[in-house]
Chains A and B, each alone.
Chain A
Amino acid sequence: MKTRFERRFAELKAAGRTGLIPFVTAGDPLPEAVVPMLHALVAGGADVIELGVPFSDPMADGPVIQHASERAIARGVGLKTVLGWVAEFRQTDADTPIVLMGYLNPLEMYGYERFATDAVAAGVDGVLLVDCPIEEAHVLEPLRAAGLDQILLASPTTAPARMERLCKASSGFLYYVSFAGITGSAQLSTDDIAARVAAIRTASSAPVAVGFGVRNAGSAVAIAAFADAVVIGSALVERLAEATSVDDAATRAHDFLAPIRAALDARKG
């Protein structure tokens, strides 16, 4: 049976479209807005959703996502709540792949076996664990056994031999981090990225998503020239932060994404 990732990336390829992957922190700005927001993102053109699991010590994140995490934690959001939201989302959306993005300690405390069972039951498709490189990925064996994909990151500092190992070990898609830094920084040099993504393509047939530093339609279109999908996080989280109601959050999510979707689709013609 094909996974949701496989189906989604095959559809994109057949249609000649670039995938759009928004990131939101689960529980921010309002816990009750999460599920309506996820649906609004899909309506606005999301192909895959990265749902951030809040963590108290997000070492690889800049201030925008740090603060979103802090707000969510202050409202008591944890892994269990997040899985509940995914299950609720799945009641009316069977197709959009969902990646849980975050750090290892929440899974450690939840228990890997228990997490694998509960995540699959909720309808999660994969995990992207920032502080779990391939060297430590043995702890995720129960997740793989349950059918969850492990999305791996590759970065500008990844040496060629290591890149090959990453390509082999990654499942779902490979996430290329466009620069050495934390989320939310605005520096983007598309020339370097294009060359690196080309190198990945020689080692792997997996879809390549590019993120970090994509903030708007312009930067998304620039990345689309060589990536299968673009990831947008901090700029969206920033836009959502000031939402005052569930409807406001959903509208903001939709209205942020729709023009980017339109620009990506206009590009292919």
Chain B
Amino acid sequence: MKILFSFFTVVFLVLLVFAGATTGNKYVLFLFGVIIPYAAFATFLLGFIYRVVQWGRSPVPFRIPTTCGQQQSFPWIKQNKIENPSTTMGVIVRMALEVFLFRSLFRNLKTELRDGPKLSYGSDKWLWLAGLAFHWSFLIILIRHYRFFIGEVPSVIHLIESLDSFLQVGVPLVYITDAVILAAVTFLFLRRVYIPQVNYISLAADYFPLFLILGIAISGVLMRYFIKVHIVGVKELAMGLISLNFMAPAKNLQEIGVIFYIHLFLISVLFAYFPFSKLMHMGGVFLSPTRNLSNNSRMVRHINPWNYPVHVHTYEEYEEDFRDKMKAAGLPVEKE
């Protein structure tokens, strides 16, 4: 149900833009080619900032890192400076490992109950591998697309492109990342369907972005390898968009080709959807208090901005309650 709903939502989006783009009407094309992308990007940018600011407005009252290694104690006990950092430098390294290499996911285990009863914890790196493959290929593809937005393609982009099509001859070069992202997203989808527990926790909001990204990748692949589009028109449009020159791209809109509009529209939807969704984990991971704080709260006092005085049971009240018993037991008292 959740799967079908998400799937058909994406199908509907494709049909919508397909219907629009095939009309060839220049106003409709202007809508899909210029207005929607702008609106989507603006939503993404403002929404993303808004969400991060909202998180930032809630303070971090306590220093609660999840310590995953030995604390700092004596010089003769080796501290794990990354998994249990006591300095900012340590935190930076810990966060870098988390953000770039998905350190915590790398720990993943599969717990199994065998006869005996015996529990075993096998290493299970598939989720980590697929997650890493997905995110990195997405990033590289994004960077590759920069070539459309700039007149003179910078050499870094060329370098990335040649690395991405490493060891190949022939035209067009097949980008490794194109294959990887399709495989990774498919894997992430299948595990959601077939692992009973993961299936049980999944919401429509988990399937929708997967289908959307799959749609984007497929349309992109189709466009690059199978259905030719008017590449000059695409580049004009892209450069017009980025230089905020609204009218420039309008000339060749009709020539570009429907598949391009599908690709662009799905990307626009993804961008617009981003700030309202779990995809915000991209920003959130940086703010996670169990990872981005050093474990130094016994060395430096952490301040809670809303710390307030509380009602306590004082020693005087306690002695009041027990003075006679204390005296009888020979315990010292303040007031005789």
Are these two chains actual partners, yes or no?
no
Interface residues of B (CB under 8 A from A): none
Interface residues of A (CB under 8 A from B): none
